[in-house]
Amino acid sequence: MSKQWPDLKKEMDKISVPMDKLDSIISSTLKPNKKKKPFKKMTFYFVSAAILIIGIFISTASVSPAMAKIAAQVPIIGTFFNDVQDEGLKIAGQKGLTQVVDQSSKDNGITLTMNEIFYDGTRLTFGYTQESLFAIGELERPNIKVNGKEINFSSSSSGDFITPQKYKGMIDINPTEELPEEFEISIIIDAIGIVAGKWEFNFPVEQSNEVTVIRPEKVIMIDKAEVKISSLKLGPAGTDLAVQVIAREEESKVDPFDLNFFVVDEHNNVLDAVSGSGHGDTEDGMIKATLDFLFNPLKEGVKKVSVIPYTFSEPLGGSEMVKVDVNQQEFPFTLSQGDFGDIIIKDIQYKKDQIIVYFDVQSDEIYDNRLSRNPIALEDASGHNLMLEDAPFAEKIEGNSFKQVFKMSEKKGLQLVTFEYPKPITYEAFEIELPQ
């Protein structure tokens, strides 16, 4: 699946938030010392630094619609999630943990089919296809009821055109409250792109398997804010972290929605973040916020994890851009990421239809398997970003060695691009023993 990161911005604009645009949301989630505004029952989908930086790179790219990807058939029944980029959903699909729905609704010449869903207590994801004379792809934010009661949630979406008439997409739903193990769900979509209509679905949902739920009792104080892990849920398709933050508005310097978290196992493997959301209330000057983060699943046999809270000392959006002309360098050469560390470029291979950059990361800071918080990019002579839409991240080879694949381009004028990233400010970790 592709377009996950650009679609998040569009999804942000559909959610009721105390700010008008994604840029202000990014700014508010990255500035720990900003003046706080009172909020009441505030719910929004907040964007991590990973999405911010990928958004910066993608905004410079010249990307045509993915209509060139023509396929005869869409894998639907029982295999919808088998070939997606999301590691957790791919595992769920391959293990047969998804639920086939195969329910269609048609209006205004557009047929929308809810093909398959996955729900295991850590995440709720719908896989759908849309067919029309010219597929539009984008769905408006749905109205969702669980057992007849409308729920509040944040969401993200991704998808790809299979043919000009067919689109395959996914919607991740993150409810603000826990859902039961079994329930009846009602989904109503009133617009697809600019086409108004009514597409309605009703079907039962059942939790696919047993999920391990851990509820640590430890409370950590961060600048006079009480931070507590409400639950850590471990499932085959994801690791869900729910955090409660309580702070007196006039005393604490930490805005609860500035907090992010690393999840690291005893082998120093860092889980890649998938999404995050938050909501909260202010009562008598006390901020009570609930944060929820979804990470990739833990590897089998892990016995212990560290959950490390962190913030940023300055907004990543204001970081200095660094560019290096590839043709003027001899291997190895350094691409500086400022306080965060350095990227050592070891080799660049030019294939028939792609360019592969091999490099090491030299940093004492925590980074994940995709370098989602400290990525690099490659630009051609015209300044067009050569990032692959289907694979925008780097891939860990082993240790601190990575590779990243880019689109093929003429060698002349190629530039590697990154930013001078600030160091994250980390706080005391939650050390959690896992049941075996």
- pLDDT for 317 equals 59
Q: Which residues does 301 contact at the CB level (< 8 Å), separation at least 6?
A: none
Give residue for tokens 């600048």: 223
Give the C-alpha separation, 255 to 29, whole Å.
8
Q: Point out which residues pair with 280 in neighbouring strands.
A: 42, 289
- Report whether 63 contacts 110 (CB < 8 A): no
Nearest to 86 by CA among 258, 287, 275: 275
Give the C-alpha separation, 259 to 237, whole Å.
24
DSSP state of 387: B
Give the C-alpha separation, 393 to 380, whole Å.
18
- pLDDT for 318 equals 61
Give the residues of the chain that fall short of pLDDT 50: 1-54, 56, 58-77
CA distances from 262 to 108, 159, 306, 311, 429 (A): 46, 27, 8, 11, 9
- Report whether 106 contacts 136 (CB < 8 A): no
Q: What are phi and psi of 425, to 5 degrees?
A: -90, 115
Q: What's the pTM?
A: 0.74
Give the C-alpha separation, 269 to 368, whole Å.
8
214: left (phi over 0), alpha (psi -120 to 50) or beta: beta
353, burial (CB in 10 Å: exposed 0-12, middle 13-18, buried 19+): exposed
233, burial (CB in 10 Å: exposed 0-12, middle 13-18, buried 19+): buried
Give the C-alpha separation, 9 to 26, whole Å.
11
How far is residue 231 CA from its own chain's centroid? 20
The string of DSSP letters for 189-212 reads EEEETTEEEEEEEEEEEE--S--E
- Report whether 436 contacts 303 (CB < 8 A): yes
- pLDDT for 281 equals 87
Domains assigned to the chain: 64-206 (2.60.40.1630), 212-316+425-433 (2.60.40), 320-420 (2.60.40)
Q: Which residues of 15-25 are buried (b: 16+ CB within 10 A; e: fewer)?
A: eebeeeebeeb
CA distances from 428 to 92, 110, 163, 221, 223 (A): 33, 52, 50, 9, 12
Q: How many C-beta neighbours within 10 Å does residue 156 have?
A: 24
Q: What are phi and psi of 314, to 5 degrees?
A: -150, 155
- pLDDT for 180 equals 92
